[in-house]
Amino acid sequence: MKRLRWWLLAIVVAGVFGMLGAWQLSRAQQKRAMLAQAEATIAQRHEVALATASDPSRAAGYDWAVGTGRFLPSPMVLLDSQVHNGQVGARAYRVFMPDGGTQPLLVDLGWLPVLDRHRMPTLPLPELRDVRGLLMPPPSHGLMSPVATRLPDGDVLVTALSAPELPALLGQRALAPRILRLDPEMRIGGERDLDVLPNTMPPERHIAYAVQWFAMAATVLVLAFLLNRRSRRRDTHV
């Protein structure tokens, strides 16, 4: 009876490890699909209107958007703890209202270094009217809680763009579900690129973790088998 309980425990533990491995494989597949869609969108550059950012049916998709509008004189948003070329900084966003649009959207103005936590970087309000770039979902916040805090200079520091209090801090009722990552050829803001998975694990890392979880599951079962066989031999010799 004791051996049976140990076997059941080993199966449960191995099953949990196996589920975690399967989840990591699923995340790898999702990110590969995201990368493939983004790469195809960037390569084709089939232009859509900026107002598409407000379309809830496209909230998880990627589109190359072109349009006109204006940057609103609302606070700048700084996405905290963003690593670029091994240096920690913040990614800057400004609210942009497309001409004829129903909702404003956040425009990514690039990465800025943070040299002093007491003096966060800032950028002047852009005078651009014509913008173009990649419409995409906001960066994933992983396990961090989405929190927004107003800084002394009036700008807003966030751990994730999904912070529920962010629209109110920017003087807006709501923001479009997608952001605009500006074309790097547009000379404005900080250091910019079209990386759709910044500061998140690439698919290869998820696969590596999946292999580790599956290996741990197999190890638990092998150890349970060896211990059970050793116990049987001991009982036989008693």
Of 77, 153, 85, 74, whose CA–CA distance to 109 is shortest? 77
In this structure, the answer to whether residues 39 and 87 fall within a common structural domain is no
Average pLDDT, the chain: 83
In this structure, the answer to whether residues 73 and 175 fall within a common structural domain is yes
In this structure, the answer to whether residues 168 and 234 fall within a common structural domain is no
Question: Is residue 235 in a domain?
Answer: yes
Torsion sign (Cα): 42, 46, 47, 50: negative
Question: Is residue 206 in a domain?
Answer: yes
At 91 the pLDDT is 92
In this structure, the answer to whether residues 85 and 160 fall within a common structural domain is yes
At 196 the pLDDT is 72
| Residue 137, domain extent | 45-182
At 84 the pLDDT is 82
Low-confidence ranges of the chain (pLDDT < 50): none
* Number of domains within the chain: 2
In this structure, the answer to whether residues 55 and 161 fall within a common structural domain is yes
The model's pTM: 0.77
In this structure, the answer to whether residues 158 and 70 fall within a common structural domain is yes
Distance CA 145, CA 157 (A): 13
In this structure, the answer to whether residues 167 and 90 fall within a common structural domain is yes
At 72 the pLDDT is 94
At 4 the pLDDT is 66
In this structure, the answer to whether residues 37 and 74 fall within a common structural domain is no
